[in-house]
Amino acid sequence: MANGKDFISLHDFSADDIEEFLEFAKKLKSAYQAGGYTPNILKGKTLGMIFEKSSTRTRVSFEVGMYQLGGSALFLSSKDLQLGRGEPIKDTARVLSRYLNGIMIRTFGHERILELAEHSTIPIINGLSDLLHPCQVLTDLLTIREYKGKHFRNLKMAYVGDGNNMANSYLYGAAKVGMALTVATPQNYKPNAEVVANALEDAKKTGAELILTEDPIEAVKHADIVATDTWASMGQEAEHDERKKIFAPYQVNAALMQHANKGAIVLHCLPAYRGEEITEEIFELHAEEIFDEAENRLHAQKSILATLL
């Protein structure tokens, strides 16, 4: 895979590219677990990390990942950058391209990332936008592979909840690797229509069965993997109470999990809101998988960094 490419959406990559990212992540994880560091891979390289939204996992895993690969990372809060005072993205892009070897950005509108990429001469990594969260879904594919094997085409996944950035990225990811995915959301909270159309197009090539429904039981029936996410994403705080009522039938709880396959795993990108999208009982029953998933952010992103930078 060519260096210098951006990592903005899984839709931009081929199934082989995704397989390469996952295979490399697996190798980096084994090396890390064996106590072996790989400090020569990105020696002398610097990643800038622009945050316009909060983060625990993304910030820490990217920063530690750069360190483990021999490079360094700069935390750039938009509150402190001139970007936060109105300096244009295109100027920020051209300045930062002179200092850095790559930029990870977490922001609101997806078009901000596209604009940054258009005016940068260095790779841009999407650390979450309102539309997509590709680093998390690559991580989830790594986690699924560890628990269920690499034959994604034999697996069925269910996503239950809000048709948000996670749902959109799961659609792109599943379509590329050929995994069956059913997304259950309330009627007015479906995944992005353009993403759905693109994913269905990709799915034609891999045979992935992608289904959208309003019925959480239909989604979870015979699923090997059940995933959910917060009902109110960053930026939607004011809608929280209203959403809590609308999404109540979409809670991942023991009754819903009864419809999944025996041995089904549960994934949650975190942070989790117990008693809302997932019960305490189901969360703790599946904590092993969920925290493996959180750890895998580090390994999957090291694979992205080492490939792109």
Residues that bind ligand CP (CB under 6 A): 55-58, 128, 136, 269-270
State the minimum distance, in angstroms, from the CB of residue 209 to ligand NVA.
24
Instruction: Return the one option of ligand CP, ligand NVA, none that residue 166 interacts with (CB less than 5 to 8 A, by type).
Output: ligand NVA
SS3 labels along the chain: CCCCCCECCHHHCCHHHHHHHHHHHHHHHHHHHCCCCCCCCCCCCEEEEEECCCCCHHHHHHHHHHHHCCCEEEEEECCCCHHHHCCCHHHHHHHHHHHCCEEEEECCCHHHHHHHHHHCCCCEEECCCCCCCHHHHHHHHHHHHHHHCCCHHHCEEEEECCCCHHHHHHHHHHHHHCCEEEEECCHHHCCCHHHHHHHHHHHHHHCCCEEEECCHHHHHCCCCEEEECCCCCCCCHHHHHHHHHHHHHHCECHHHHCCCCCCCEEEECCCCCECCCECHHHHHHCHHHHHHHHHHHHHHHHHHHHHHC
Interacting residue with ligand NVA among 234, 246, 292, 295 (CB under 6 A) = 234
Q: How far apart are CA 190 and CA 183, in angstroms?
A: 8
State the minimum distance, in angstroms, from the CB of residue 135 to ligand NVA.
10
Binding mask 107-146 for ligand NVA (x = CB under 6 A): ---------------------x----x-------------
Instruction: Return the one option of ligand CP, ligand NVA, none that residue 229 interacts with (CB less than 5 to 8 A, by type).
Output: ligand NVA
Q: How far apart are CA 48 and CA 197, in angstroms?
A: 33
Contact flag: residue 269 with ligand NVA (CB under 6 A):
yes
Contact flag: residue 105 with ligand NVA (CB under 6 A):
no
Interacting residue with ligand NVA among 9, 97, 165, 279 (CB under 6 A) = 165
From 136, 140, 286, 301, active-site residue = 136
Q: Is 106 a catalytic residue?
A: yes
Q: Which of 262, 23, 285, 9 is nearest to 141 (CA)?
A: 23
Q: Is 6 a catalytic residue?
A: no
Phi, psi of 158 (to 5 degrees): -120, 135
State the minimum distance, in angstroms, from the CB of residue 232 to ligand NVA.
8
Q: Using CB under 6 A, count the residues that bind ligand NVA.
A: 10
Interacting residue with ligand NVA among 8, 76, 142, 166 (CB under 6 A) = 166
Q: Is 240 a catalytic residue?
A: no
Contact flag: residue 251 with ligand NVA (CB under 6 A):
no
From 133, 145, 268, 286, active-site residue = 133
Q: Which is nearer to ligand CP, 177 or 298 (CB)?
A: 298
State the minimum distance, in angstroms, from the CB of residue 73 to ligand NVA.
19
State the minimum distance, in angstroms, from the CB of residue 185 to ligand CP.
19
Contact flag: residue 229 with ligand NVA (CB under 6 A):
yes
Catalogue the active-site residues: 106, 133, 136, 229, 269, 297
Kindly list the residues in this chain that would bind ligand NVA in the complex (CB under 6 A): 128, 133, 164-166, 229-230, 233-234, 269
